[in-house]
Amino acid sequence: MNPRSHFANSGLLAAALVLAGPLLAVEGSSPSPSPYVGLESRKIPAVSPEREKGLLAGAGIGYAMAAELNGHPGPKHVLEMSEQLALTEAQRAAAQASFERMRTDAVALGEQILAAEELLNRRFAHRHIDEATLAELTSQIATLEGKLRFVHLRAHLETDALLTEAQRQRYVELRGYGKSEAGAQEHHHSG
């Protein structure tokens, strides 16, 4: 056998193996399991137990991050830090009222969100869903989520209005966000 043709045949074989490798690997391997395995046993599969608990408690669960991370304090944390912030009795009472209003509204909306999520899940589970129903339910959930976010952000606006600039700066420091006074003033003037 000619050494050159042997080399050429080896090259063709190697090229064929390189090209066929992915096909052989796909054909011979089993599909990887879904990261959702086990979630189907939850009451509402698309809602984690932590999120469900937060919705039922009226917790923030990230809804007010736009305010919080830009130096607009929330009532819960202001009340928790009332001594460090040197709140007056009037400020404390107003923050408490804002917190109670927020929690009451948030719990009611959280319950509605969970009910809508449960209905959406049930419709899929029983194969009793069409595009119109899907559009209606997902739109309802989105509207409720928007209302819940508004409730949490409104509480931050209310609380922010109660505090002095020095208290706001102290809040940012206590929360560990590391904004300088100049940076916070820039945000207040630009937004």
Provide the whole-model pTM. 0.75
Read off the pLDDT band of 38 (50, 70, 90): confident
Cα–Cα distance for residue pair 72/171, rounded to 1 Å: 9
Alpha-carbon distance of 46 to 125, in angstroms, equals 12
Give the span between the Cα atoms of 147 and 92, in whole angstroms. Answer: 26
**In this structure, how many other beta carbons lie within 10 angstroms of the beta carbon of residue 87?**
19
| Over residues 156-178, mean pLDDT | 96
Q: Where are the domains of the chain?
A: 1-27, 58-190
Rounded-to-integer distance, Cα 140 and Cα 124, Å? 16
Give how far Cα 182 sits from Cα of 8, 110, 119, Å. Answer: 72, 38, 49
Residue-level pLDDT at 181 = 47
Q: Is the pLDDT of residue 187 over 50?
A: no
pLDDT of 87-143, one tens digit each? Answer: 999 999 999 999 999 999 999 999 999 999 999 999 999 999 999 999 999 999 999
- pLDDT confidence band for 37 (50 / 70 / 90): confident
Structure tokens at 148: 């819940």
Highest mean pLDDT among 3-7, 102-106, 180-184: 102-106
What average pLDDT does this structure show over 7-35? 60
Q: What is the mean pLDDT of the chain?
A: 86
Provide the pLDDT for residue 63.
97
DSSP 84-137: TTT--HHHHHHHHHHHHHHHHHHHHHHHHHHHHHHHHHHHHHTT---HHHHHHH
